[in-house]
Copies of this chain bind each other. A is one copy, B any other.
């Protein structure tokens, strides 16, 4: 089968054998924002046309390709949701020009109850991460636990009996980028400096003392102003403050271990932060996406099953 991860700014694809092994991988700077309206079939053909003519029996696409701005909108699948729920809601693309059955994987949505007048709940959404969670479950043989996907918008997903029961988004990566590039702190910290684990865990610990990032981030400036910390470690300290705020916003008392899915750089930081709370972390990288799309492929209706 063919597996595609079509995001906002990037497009990645893999050719998988029937056991899910990656036969070939490709990556392009062709995120959905760079594709003109109606241009998705042509973009697909330009990048993967040769693969579509090969022995593959189906193609599954995850990510923002299923959003309003994408190829075909795939409505969100409501939590709790597992493999079968998502497979049943695949959005098959009806385009006669397509050489093989092609479907978009729906994202997940859930509701955070808040019981306020005129606001019963606030919705939450993910697109693409659900496939990585399924992949990590499949690869690790894990059916229950807490899966965390650090990133621009981190996702925390609670999984029970192989279904995502609920999840929560945090703008952690974006806040760090805003603070380090566009705020008053941009002149104070040096984001090119090597990662400083000690300053990072200090930031995590400071965030754990209960104060808001609104206040703690200002401390990054005053520590520099009073020459108590250099520009290099300050970047790691700020990273610790932001990631620490994300961690401490969750009830972690009963958590012993977590699964972290994402880039080496980010999952390493999160693992270090969890270590300070005596929580162990298993880390997974991009392979989770292919494993997830392959696992979903196993749940396709018989007439479209790529096996």
Binding site for B on A (CB under 8 A): 112, 114, 116-119, 122-125, 153, 168-172, 174-175, 178-179, 182-184, 198, 202, 205-206, 209, 211-219, 222-223, 225-226, 228, 242, 245-246, 248-249
Contact = CB atoms under 8 A, between A and B. Distances in A.
A238 to B, nearest CB: 12
Nearest to A153: B218
Contacts of A242: 214
Given A118-B198, A170-B215, 8 more contacts: A123-B219, A124-B218, A124-B219, A171-B218, A174-B183, A211-B249, A214-B246, A215-B249
Contacts of A246: 212, 214
Contact of A174 (B170, B174, B184, B205): B184
Contacts of A183: 171, 174, 178
A122 B214 contact: no
22 contacts: A114-B206, A114-B209, A116-B202, A116-B206, A118-B198, A119-B206, A122-B219, A123-B222, A124-B222, A169-B218, A169-B222, A170-B218, A172-B214, A175-B214, A178-B182, A178-B183, A182-B182, A211-B249, A212-B246, A214-B242, A214-B246, A215-B249
Contacts of A124: 218-219, 222
9 smallest beta-carbon distances between A and B, as pairs: A212-B249, A122-B219, A170-B214, A178-B178, A123-B222, A169-B218, A123-B226, A182-B182, A170-B215
A9 to B, nearest CB: 12
Nearest to A175: B214
A170 B219 CA distance: 9
A118 B249 CA distance: 25
Contacts of A112: 219
Contacts of A118: 198, 202
Given A123-B228, A202-B118, A226-B123, A212 B213 contact: yes
A123 to B, nearest CB: 4
B178 A214 contact: no
Contacts of A182: 178, 182
B212 A170 contact: yes
A222 B211 CA distance: 26
Contacts of A228: 119, 123
A122 B178 contact: no
Contacts of A174: 183-184
Contacts of A212: 170, 212-213, 245-246, 248-249
B213 A213 contact: yes
Contacts of A169: 215, 218, 222
Nearest to A223: B122
